[in-house]
Amino acid sequence: MDFLDRMNETIDYIEDNLDGEISNIKIAQITCCPLHQFGRIFTYVVGIPLSEYIRRRRLTQAAHDLHLGNEKIIDIALKYNYDSPNSFRRAFIEMHGITPSEARRKGVILKSYPRLSFHISIRGDVEMNYRIEEKELVLVGIRRNSISPEDYGKIWDEFLDEKMPAHGKTPNAIIRDDLDLYRPPVWQMGVYIMNDDGTFDLIIGAESDGREVNIEGIETIRIPVKTWAAFKTDPGGHVKELGELHLRIKSEWLPSSGYVQYKQISAEVYPMDTTIDVPTYQPELWIAVSKK
């Protein structure tokens, strides 16, 4: 299935469940990529986060229900995933400028946020620079298996900010300072391996230099992937550019490259000699591939 078809299928799923539970696991299954990656693509294309799109669509439907039906306000609030009438009232006023009670009156002006449909014309008039890496990665770092989409940020925070009780240091500090493993060409790397159930395994660390590492909580992890397609963001690029790269790789490069993505494995590579605030900062996006 084409990736843009998957994006439209995701919208279909969201629309069918505006008045119920919208599962991040299900969205990851439909898109075949971790939710944070799809979220970056969505924000790049639409201009707002996925969560904000869902919020606006639910409040649009809630306004229709209030204006045309006789349901109680508390029932409509619960229907569209609000825990209380007060939280629903605040959100409704923020979007529509009037209270839910006022929305029942004839002649009031309500806002309608339309359902999305993706019809993107890919012209290929902007070149994509890439390289093919033949590499079996051996990383030193942490691995967390069967991560739900909601836990993505927590794992990165754990790696960067939470000190390990046995060492009094963060995993990031141990790898950077004690093991001195942040070095070209790989630097800091986060590897994402999608599972069939919509969860994913997340490995964060740096490439091994061959030394045996015996540090509690730090693992040596072998990722048996031979071929990677590596793409750089534009200089100074970060979250927005990674979202653009994900979209262009899946919708432009992969269909015409002679490759397919291998087992839905991808990686983000962050240089450590600069900071995200400088113009030369260029994270990379790697996609594990195999020949068609």
Alpha-carbon distance of 133 to 131, in angstroms, equals: 6
Alpha-carbon distance of 142 to 220, in angstroms, equals: 8
pLDDT digits (tens), the chain, 292 positions: 588 888 899 999 999 999 999 999 999 999 988 888 888 888 888 889 999 999 999 999 999 899 877 889 999 999 999 999 999 999 999 999 999 999 888 878 888 888 888 765 545 556 777 888 898 899 999 999 999 888 888 999 999 999 998 889 999 999 999 999 998 777 899 999 999 888 999 999 999 999 999 999 999 999 988 899 998 887 655 555 778 888 888 888 888 788 999 988 999 998 865 455 555 677 889 999 998 8
Edge-to-edge strand ranges of the sheet holding 130-134: 130-134, 227-232, 284-291, 259-270, 188-194, 200-207, 137-147, 219-223
The number of C-alpha atoms within 13 Å of 118 and in the hemisphere containing its C-beta is 20
Residue 43, pLDDT score: 87
| CATH numbers and ranges of domains, the chain | 3-104 (1.10.10.60), 130-291 (3.20.80.10)
With H, G, I as helix, E, B as strand and everything else as coil, classify residue 12: helix
CA distance to 144, 151, 163, 177, per residue, from 170 (Å): 16, 18, 4, 10
H helices of the chain, in order, are 3-16, 24-31, 35-46, 50-68, 73-79, 85-96, 152-161, 171-173, 239-248, 254-257
- If you write DSSP's letter for every residue of 120-176 in order, what string do you get? ------S---EEEEE--EEEEEEEEEEE-GGGHHHHHHHHHHPPBTTTTB-HHHIII
Tokens representing 118 are 């993706």
The number of C-alpha atoms within 13 Å of 69 and in the hemisphere containing its C-beta is 12
Residue 1, pLDDT score: 57
| Residue 58: burial class (beta carbons within 10 Å; 0-12, 13-18, 19+) | buried
CA dihedral of 150, 156, 162, 163, whole degrees rounded to 10: 140
Alpha-carbon distance of 181 to 174, in angstroms, equals: 9
Residue 75, pLDDT score: 94
Alpha-carbon distance of 85 to 108, in angstroms, equals: 21
Alpha-carbon distance of 129 to 99, in angstroms, equals: 51
